Amino acid sequence: MLLSDPSLIKNTLLLNGVWQAGSSQFAVYNPATGEEIIWVHNASVKDTQLAIEYAVLAQKQWQQSLAAERAFLLKNWHQLVLQHQHDLALILATEQGKPLSEAKAEILYAASFIEWFAEEAKRLYGDVIPTTAANRRLMTIKQAVGVVAAITPWNFPAAMITRKLAPAFAAGCTVILKPSELTPLTAMALAELAQRAGFAPGVLQVLPTKEASAVGELLCQSPDVKKLTFTGSTRVGKLLMRQCADTVKRLSLELGGNAPVLIFADADLPKAVAGVMAAKFRNAGQTCVCINRIYVERAVYQEFNQLLLKAMQQLVQGSALEPGVTLGPLINTEAVTKVSALVQQAINQGATLMWAGQKPVAGSNFYPPTLLCDVTQDMALMQQEIFGPVAAVMPFDSEQEAISLANQSAAGLAAYVYSNDISRLWRLAEALQVGMVGINETAISTEVIPFGGVKESGLGREGSRYGIDEYLEIKHLCWGGLV
């Protein structure tokens, strides 16, 4: 990586404002080439306990800081991220694999959360409640939850960090960040910029680690950690939830998705195809709001499949920094094995392989963009997240059937609908059991909207004016004895 500012590359732990070595190290690899990028120091359970102690000490002063002071530091951080956006995108693309254009977009997306919550920091209003007695006055104030543990994933290693850290800082919480061991460099570069922005020692600790289970367990079980925020798989989210039970922690869980798209005969098919392409193949299909299940009304089923095929054939697969690349690799060989097994199982059960693109010669982590038609609801790739560049299409015959198919999932994060019937769109928006609905649109994620799901897709919301509430406690003040 040829960076304008090579000092953004950090490979040690951030504890109490100091970058320091761990007792061991692990390698970080480029998923497109398999080449080793750098060795990163590993945070142990002992390091995690130190991080908790430092965060507790910093919390006392940080929570008493003025809202304007916190907003000022967040604005500084925002400006530094924008100033270094190209370097950050290079780091992200190299360790995560997504095309550079997508990496650049993610850095701007990440920066938007910092700016948004810098503004929200000054709007943490309480309430005066109409009293129930003449000699009493009732009111509420909002206070920081306390020390926050943030565990973030590899698929959006910048945006998932700022979407958690920015509201936590704005609310007056200190944060212990455990990024994915697959993509720690982006996290540490963002933390370095936060240090330069002026955040006090201890407000942010960063723990890159290969000991994720042990470190996560300590963060969950420590009574000094008051909140856990996690983005990742539903399986791990449930485990963390159980581990947090004994200390009754505040939880924000953004877990798995299995997003359907419902495309009706009266839809604008070219626009629907464009929307499916954007939401299906972003980050090679490795996003929690990716379209996973494509349901198309039978009257336009064949036409839609042909349009989708032509669009998929325009995808260019390759390494992140190669010009013109629109589709990168999967994160590792385990991901390739999983996607391949799902596709093969579907074919064995009767799905039609309509197209499979050419896999690049270099790199074992690439999976070709694949179009499967005539899939059925009982196939495994319709019941779980594919997390790969596979479009699975199934016909339906009625609105009620489409709704029933879409809701047959334990996940409830996002859904998408395409139709020109306004009444139908309202019915669908209300009937779909998800936290977010894209209506004739698949680009639904911005800093201003409440991101989150229902059912087994998690708890709480991130972004928007609601996102900061996840880091605040409401305290009731009852004033008595007043004349």
Q: List residues with catalytic annotation.
A: 254, 288
Tokens read off for 410? 């334990």
Give the HSE-up count for residue 77: Cα atoms under 13 Å, Cβ half-sphere.
Answer: 33
- CB distance 283 to 328 below 8 Å: yes
Q: Where are the beta strands (DSSP E) in 397-450?
A: 411-412, 414-418, 436-439
Distance CA 416, CA 162 (A): 26
Within 10 angstroms of residue 307's Cβ, the number of other Cβ atoms is 18
CA-to-CA dists, residue 413 to 257, 449, 456, angstroms: 5, 14, 8
Give me the numbers of helices (H) and strands (E) for the chain, helices first please: 14, 22
Q: Phi and psi dihedrals of 358, rounded to 5? A: -80, 125
First vs last C-alpha separation in the chain:
70
Tokens read off for 16? 């109490």
Q: Which of 421, 417, 412, 480 is nearest to 452 (CA)?
A: 412
Distance CA 37, CA 30 (A): 6
DSSP state of 43: P
The DSSP element (H or E) to which 352 belongs, if any, is strand 352-356
